Chain A
Amino acid sequence: MTENNTKGERPGFFRRVWNFFTRPAVAIAAGTLLLAGVVLGVLFWGGFNWAMEMTNNEEFCISCHEMRDNVYAEYEGTVHQSNSSGVRATCPDCHVPKEWGPKVVRKIQASYELYGHFITGVIDTPEKFDAHRLDMATSVWTAMKKTDSRECRNCHDFEFMDFTLQENRAAQNHQAALDQGKTCIDCHQGIAHRLPEDYLNAYKDVAARVEGR
């Protein structure tokens, strides 16, 4: 192997690749090279973001039966799918962060979750889905509690809520939430899906953990 470097002989494959990346190019003009780099960069970046977008809509989310038959079916008819104003919140609106960094992190987590779909099939029947739901809900709650319900706040904001137009209970609770620093998910679990058994105790545990109590 080490003979590869002896004079006169053609370097080995790995050596040639190494040279290709480390030696200055002689045959191509620097300008051309730069341009090619830019074009390739744009293509990759565009492709990456395209892939992010393609996997960031409701159609994609419910293309697997686990989501379509369980959470999507439950979400149908809830206030976020059908309401007087006709504004809708789709799966990624609540489940995928808008900012780039957290979004990429969430997408990487999602690829791991696909492992469950293709390999272990942890939730591939409604019964298994239900058995697993408390775990899944717990991880969603934990994320929301940690980010101060960031995804809800993409659309909702206490600043622009007219408490006088709300139902008494809502106005009182929201004022209390502002005063006590509570976040949306503290009171609004099960806003889009069915809740599992013993959900409230599980949520209280999540809240205690995140608040470090």
Chain B
Amino acid sequence: MTKKPLISALTATALLAAGLAFAQSAASPVESLRGAQVDEQVAVEDVFHQDEKRFARSYRQQPPLVPHSIDQYQIDLKANRCLSCHDWTNAGERNAPTLSMTHYMDRNGAQLDHVAGTRWFCNQCHVPQADAPALVENTFESSGKN
């Protein structure tokens, strides 16, 4: 029965912490998603265009950047348009680079004939690049020689 006071003490601390957090969030003013008052004019952001070239990889395991538009391609539970060009069954005909073997290996290392579930959502790893200024400061250096 020595556990009971301990549990009560823990609960009390947790409640106190939660209460403090709540009080703090209530103190700071709520900020809207667009970051401005409703009647404030917000200038439209500049439009930056996508870089459309084959990119060199900056480190050995890097998923290559996408050198073409991807907005128009559906990727969801039902269909994956990327595969209509990049899957090994279609790549030759569509003149696109074939997915490397890592995309056909499931998490137990078994080789599959169809793309692995872990690789279904391509844009989890592959992204296009635009000529936009960096959003945050970035000190990354390529591990490649260049």
Contacts and interface: CB of A to CB of B under 8 A. Distances in A.
Interface of A: 78-79, 167-169, 172-173, 176, 190-191, 194-197, 199-200
Given A173-B95, A194-B78, A197-B79, 7 more contacts: A79-B72, A167-B68, A169-B68, A191-B72, A195-B81, A197-B78, A199-B78
Interface string B41-74: 0000000000010000000000000001100101
Contacts of B52: 167-168
Contacts, number: 34
B68 A194 contact: no
A79 B95 CA distance: 25
Given A167-B52, A168-B52, A200-B84, A190 B74 contact: yes
B95 A194 contact: no
Given A168-B52, A172-B95, A200-B84, A194 B74 contact: yes
A199 B81 CA distance: 10
B113 interface: no
Contacts of A168: 52, 68
Nearest to A169: B68
Contacts of A190: 74, 79, 81
Given A167-B52, A172-B95, A194 B69 contact: no
A111 B90 CA distance: 38
12 contacts: A79-B72, A167-B52, A167-B68, A169-B68, A169-B96, A191-B72, A195-B74, A196-B79, A197-B78, A197-B79, A199-B79, A200-B84
Contacts of A196: 78-79
Interface string B68-108: 11001010101101011000001000111000000000000
